[in-house]
A and B are shown apart, each in its own frame.
Chain A
Amino acid sequence: MAKDDLLGASLWDAYSNKVTTLMNNPQHQGEITPEEAESHGNKLIVADFGAESCGDAVRLYWEVDPKTDKIVNSKFKSFGCGTAIASSDVMTELCIGLTVQEAVKITNIDVEKALRDDPDTPAVPPQKMHCSVMAYDVIKKAASLYLGVTEESFEEDIIVCECARVSLGTIQEVIRLNDLKTVEEITDYTKAGGFCKSCIKPGGHEDREYYLVDILADTRREMDEEKMKASADAQLEGAGNFEEMTLVQQIKAVDAVIDENVRQFLIMDGGNMEIIDIKKDDDYIDIYIRYMGACDGCASSATGTLYAIESTLKEKLSKKIRVLPI
């Protein structure tokens, strides 16, 4: 919330000209009859997705050449808002000329991009991004009917956020790598949850199998458990093994010792520290740290505190350790 948000944006003004034009005059609206497809020796596939009770519904028609699997003609019918109709229209256009196997790779992101006036400006405002997902889903359904396989067989990943097409694996990875603590941070890093918001938590526009709040809580719990385990292992293994550890293991072990013995005293004084890097040669293992909060610039941080940190790490992990604040 800030100055720009004081007056809510006009929804329709955020539509691209292409969305407006196609809503006003869709190019591929209509039906293909079985007789028509048959007369060309082609196979007709008709698939529905959504329902009036959901607020939008689309029926996709494909006329497929059975010899080449090529979609030679495509039409749609749609119950929905401007974005739903424009998305359906552009989806139909994208399908024509592709084989079924190629068409199934079209995503809602491709549909949205095809609706843009210029490549860097979204075609629709965030809350309307979801309307393009229907286009993606109905293609999967049509392809599954033609190929005689299940829709799930096209999905390689579990998609948590359909609007931005972000997978469960990606979300778990960014939480771990960047130590993310809030859903807002996940959205900043991945765009997941930034559009229709259904995937953030239960009770949104539609039910989801996975929610960001749960993924975050589960991943954080796993991270905490791993940290505890590393801490326990580090103490169990003792100093002898520290020098043999991988860099990641070393960082975890150092972090665990700091957590156990040092950090609470720093926090009590309004400060903290983080590990920046570990470099080693034959004689020394140099641990680069950065002070934070009140520690940064505190006189003792270069003397007493530093000595305490270094001697603790030497005692617990390795005699070769030197601690270097930067």
Chain B
Amino acid sequence: MQVYLDNNATTMCDPQVVEVMQPFFSQMYGNPSSLHKFGTATHPYIRKAIDQVYTALNASDEDDIIFTSCATESNNWVLKSVFNDYIVNGEKDHIITTEVEHPSVLSTCRWLEEQGVKVTYLPVNEQGIVEPHVVKSFITNKTALVSIMWASNETGMIFPIKEIGEICKQNGVLFHSDGVQAVGKIPVDLQDVHIDFVSMSAHKFHGPKGVGALYIKNSQALSPLLHGGEQMGHRRSGTLNVPYIVGMGKAIELATTNMEEKIASIRAKRDRLEDALLELSDTFVVGSRENRTPNTILISIRGVEGEGMLWDLNNGQIGASTGSACASAELEANTVMLAIGADNELAHTGIRLSLSRFTTDEEIDYTIEHFKNAVARLRAISSSFAKVQPTPGGEAGECAMPHHMAH
């Protein structure tokens, strides 16, 4: 059996999505910007995809949802264009974000710092979320933007977006949220929260890779990131990626139809897996279940190093992660774990399991068994569980190495 439990990194493209994309490669391949019927024939399908996305997110017709190539592009667009519009060509000089954002936000913020922008990286509490009063305390009259993720890719913890949105509204500060781990996983109602910009990506909810979107409230001004043929209502240049846009529309519709049922089903499997793994001694899971995306578990297993555990899971045909896929080939400790305030030890023992609506009960059973065996094997090797103590003088000190936090 093969079990894919890395759905926060990417998901399987739903076969129903692949099916609706199919005609737009070799049959209806016209450029939607063309005047002839080859181009215009695609319009009803693109319009449908737009409707599907607006409906899924309960966006107002006054809002813009612009298709992009991915959430990385959407995040770059918001940060760099707010920089241009409100800092270079305005009176502001400050952006607030968190220590635990995706690299597409953090790296862009570091680049903005090099351009002279002041950036505040907010810490998270032991639950792994930013508290609204912390956001409030850092807003000044020079703050242009607050950028805070909707849910964490690593812990699954859901941030208090509604409360932060109200604070930003009261203070007249723009609010952006990287919604990559929320859209398609939990209900997102864009008329219920005050939020100016939301980034999303189709491949996180069983759509294709290479297409995402940026939500822009009330069609407000934001300079384009890409200049060119002025597609998407002059907001984002580049020939419309018709098959992928159609696929994204279908994927978000499938993810959000009967969403409560889907969530309940995933949550039940997740909770069963979590309960079973917590039967192991010296383990704990980060963050409360109620406030977590229903598919995610970040578990620490004392005495078992993360990469070693991934190795054993991989030998058992189980795909998991130590955290962000972007960082998994690096040596460093999990920065989110460190930001949560966990000790350094935990930062090296975290394993993230992320389910999807395609995860089956049989796969959960298989994973429980294999996971427990792997922990038993690695703990048998682990120095953390050794009984014979070092010769006097042979003890090792704690790690002197300073883990660098997300700057």
Contact B348 A55 (CB under 8 A): yes
Query: Which of A33, A79, A127 is in CB contact (< 8 Å) with B383?
Result: A79
- A57–B395 CA distance with the chains assembled, in angstroms: 11
Query: Which of B314, B348, B394, B404 is in CB contact (< 8 Å) with A145?
Result: B394
Given A52-B349, A53-B348, A82-B308, verify A77-B383 contact (CB < 8 Å). yes
Q: Which of A202-210, A240-248, A309-317 contacts B (4 or more CB under 8 A)?
A: A202-210
* A58 contacts across to B, CB distance below 8 A: 383
Q: Interface readout for A11-45 with B: 1 if CB under 8 Å, 0 if not?
A: 11000000000011010010111100000000011
* B44 contacts across to A, CB distance below 8 A: none
Task: Kindly state the interface size class of chain B when it binds its partner.
Answer: 35 or more
Q: Does B1 contact A (CB under 8 A)?
A: no
Q: Does A1 contact B (CB under 8 A)?
A: no
Q: Interface readout for B377-403 with A: 1 if CB under 8 Å, 0 if not?
A: 000111111111111011111111110
* A46 contacts across to B, CB distance below 8 A: 388-391, 394
Contact A34 B345 (CB under 8 A): no
Q: Does A54 contact B (CB under 8 A)?
A: yes
Given A44-B391, A55-B348, verify A85-B315 contact (CB < 8 Å). no
- A31–B382 CA distance with the chains assembled, in angstroms: 11
Nearest CB of A to B149, in Å: 24
* A61 contacts across to B, CB distance below 8 A: 388
Given A48-B396, A52-B349, A207-B401, verify A130-B331 contact (CB < 8 Å). yes
Given A33-B388, A77-B383, A82-B308, verify A207-B402 contact (CB < 8 Å). yes
* B380 contacts across to A, CB distance below 8 A: 29
Query: Which of A47, A49, A55, A81 is in CB contact (< 8 Å) with B333?
Result: A55
- A59–B383 CA distance with the chains assembled, in angstroms: 6
Query: Which of A8, A59, A85 is in CB contact (< 8 Å) with B329?
Result: A8
List residues of A (196-235) whose CB comes within 8 Å of B's CBs: 196, 203, 205-207
Nearest CB of B to A244, in Å: 54
Q: Does B307 contact A (CB under 8 A)?
A: yes
- A204–B311 CA distance with the chains assembled, in angstroms: 25
Nearest CB of A to B32, in Å: 30
Contact B303 A79 (CB under 8 A): yes
* A142 contacts across to B, CB distance below 8 A: 394
- A23–B378 CA distance with the chains assembled, in angstroms: 10
Query: Looking at B348, B380, B396, which has the most chain A CB atoms within 10 Å of its CB?
Result: B396
Contact A57 B401 (CB under 8 A): no
List residues of A (161-214) whose CB comes within 8 Å of B's CBs: 196, 203, 205-207
Q: Does A296 contact B (CB under 8 A)?
A: no
Contact B329 A81 (CB under 8 A): no
Contact B311 A50 (CB under 8 A): no
Given A79-B383, A82-B308, verify A57-B344 contact (CB < 8 Å). no
Given A141-B394, A145-B391, verify A56-B402 contact (CB < 8 Å). no
* A59 contacts across to B, CB distance below 8 A: 383, 386, 390
* A78 contacts across to B, CB distance below 8 A: 381-383
List residues of B (43-102) whose CB comes within 8 Å of A's CBs: none
* B345 contacts across to A, CB distance below 8 A: 51-53
Q: Is the interface of A mostly helix, strand, loop or mixed?
A: mixed
Contact B386 A31 (CB under 8 A): yes
A81: nearest chain-B partner, CB-CB: B307
Q: Interface readout for A73-97 with B: 1 if CB under 8 Å, 0 if not?
A: 0000111111011000000000000
Given A52-B384, A61-B388, A207-B400, verify A80-B315 contact (CB < 8 Å). no
Contact A203 B404 (CB under 8 A): yes
Nearest CB of B to A29, in Å: 5
- A11–B329 CA distance with the chains assembled, in angstroms: 7
- A280–B330 CA distance with the chains assembled, in angstroms: 57
* A49 contacts across to B, CB distance below 8 A: 396
Query: Which of A34, A47, A54, A84 is in CB contact (< 8 Å) with B399?
Result: A54
Contact A81 B386 (CB under 8 A): no
Q: Interface readout for A56-71 with B: 1 if CB under 8 Å, 0 if not?
A: 1111010000000000
Nearest CB of B to A286, in Å: 53
A25: nearest chain-B partner, CB-CB: B377
Q: Interface readout for B322-353 with A: 1 if CB under 8 Å, 0 if not?
A: 00000001111100000000011101110000
Nearest CB of A to B283, in Å: 14
* B344 contacts across to A, CB distance below 8 A: 52-54
Nearest CB of B to A282, in Å: 63
* A33 contacts across to B, CB distance below 8 A: 388
- Of all A-B residue pairs in the complex, the 4 with the closest CB atoms, nearest first, are A53-B344, A54-B399, A48-B396, A81-B307
5 further A-B pairs in the complex, CB-CB below 8 A; given A29-B381, A31-B388, A57-B384: A46-B388, A46-B390, A48-B383, A77-B386, A205-B332
Can you list 29 A-B contacts with CB-CB less than 8 angstroms, sorted by A residue number?
A: A8-B329, A12-B314, A23-B308, A23-B311, A31-B386, A31-B387, A32-B388, A48-B395, A49-B396, A50-B396, A52-B344, A52-B349, A52-B384, A54-B344, A54-B348, A54-B401, A55-B305, A55-B348, A55-B399, A59-B390, A78-B381, A79-B304, A82-B311, A84-B308, A85-B381, A127-B331, A141-B394, A145-B394, A206-B400
